[in-house]
Amino acid sequence: NAGVTQTPKFRVLKTGQSMTLLCAQDMNHEYMYWYRQDPGMGLRLIHYSVGEGTTAKGEVPDGYNVSRLKKQNFLLGLESAAPSQTSVYFCASSYHGSYEQYFGPGTRLTVT
Amino acid sequence: DQQVKQNSPSLSVQEGRISILNCDYTNSMFDYFLWYKKYPAEGPTFLISISSIKDKNEDGRFTVFLNKSAKHLSLHIVPSQPGDSAVYFCAASGFGNEKLTFGTGTRLTIIP
């Protein structure tokens, strides 16, 4: 099992560019999450999904969109990147009814 | 409003001694708590958890204590080993809530 994988690992964008981060899990988890980690801020929830075709906003959703077309994939989109979106992005997944989330290795995004 | 607080950004402990990491929360609806460990350039990994119906949970060298009246939990690592050097995040959730709220993390350094 690969667990939770994220693509790409690193990316540099210019302000105004768009990109999509891909998260995939092979554990048949129902729930998936996108977090961002910034110095001194911990992990903050951007968006999450409790099942295929469903998404919901987390704590810091502005400037991001998500889609969950397949159970195993959760995509995070930035339509017009801003320097404030420079961060490390983590995807996580969990079973329905479980508090324990499994995390991917992260994507380091820099917006210049 | 930070609902989960880790007031010590860093902690250094001699190898073999006890490491104590602290976490405070403000939301009285939280009833399940987790600790995650994170190495550089990796995603967080689950370490140990505790339900609000307990005040202690042990797993090998790791013990988590919960004081509900004080809204405080702590993670004890005994004995501390060099491989324990990492950032530790405290997280909390409410019953039936699929989301976790994370603290800002404590960087633990074990001195050989």
| pLDDT tens digits, one per residue of A10-34 | 999 999 999 999 999 999 999 999 9
Which ranges of chain A have pLDDT less than 70?
none
Q: How far apart are CA A55 and CA A2, in angstroms?
A: 24
Query: Does the pLDDT value for residue B12 go beyond 90?
Result: yes
Substitution target from B98, B101, B106 for chain A, most A beta carbons within 10 A: B98
Which residue among A40, A99, A105 places its CB closest to the CB of B100?
Answer: A99
Round the average pLDDT of chain B to a whole number and report it.
96
Confidence of residue B75 (pLDDT cuts 50, 70, 90): very high
Q: How far apart are CA A91 and CA A23, in angstroms?
A: 6
- B8 vs chain A: nearest CA distance in angstroms? 11
**Closest residue on chain A to B30 (Cα):** A99
Q: What are phi and psi of A84, to 5 degrees?
A: -65, -10
Q: What residues have CB less than 8 Å from B27, skipping those under 6 apart?
A: B3, B92, B94, B101
Which residue among A40, A48, A106 places its CB closest to the CB of B99?
Answer: A48
What is the share, in percent, of chain B residues with pLDDT greater than 90? 94
Q: Which pLDDT does position A2 carry in this prediction? A: 84
Confidence of residue B2 (pLDDT cuts 50, 70, 90): confident
Q: Which residues of A touch B89 (CB under 8 A)?
A: 42-43
Q: Which pLDDT does position A1 carry in this prediction? A: 76
The label of the residue with tokens 């397949």 reads: A70
Q: Do A99 and B102 touch (CB under 8 A)?
A: no
Quick: pLDDT tens for B13-35.
999 999 999 999 999 999 999 99
B48 touches chain A (CB under 8 A): no
Q: Which pLDDT does position B98 carry in this prediction? A: 80
Q: Which pLDDT does position A112 carry in this prediction? A: 97
SS3 label, residue A84: helix
Query: Does the pLDDT value for residue B101 go beyond 90?
Result: yes
- B2 vs chain A: nearest CA distance in angstroms? 9
What is the share, in percent, of chain B residues with pLDDT greater than 70? 100
- A17 vs chain B: nearest CA distance in angstroms? 25
How far from B20 is each of A43, B6, B64, B73, CA to CA, in Å? 21, 12, 10, 10
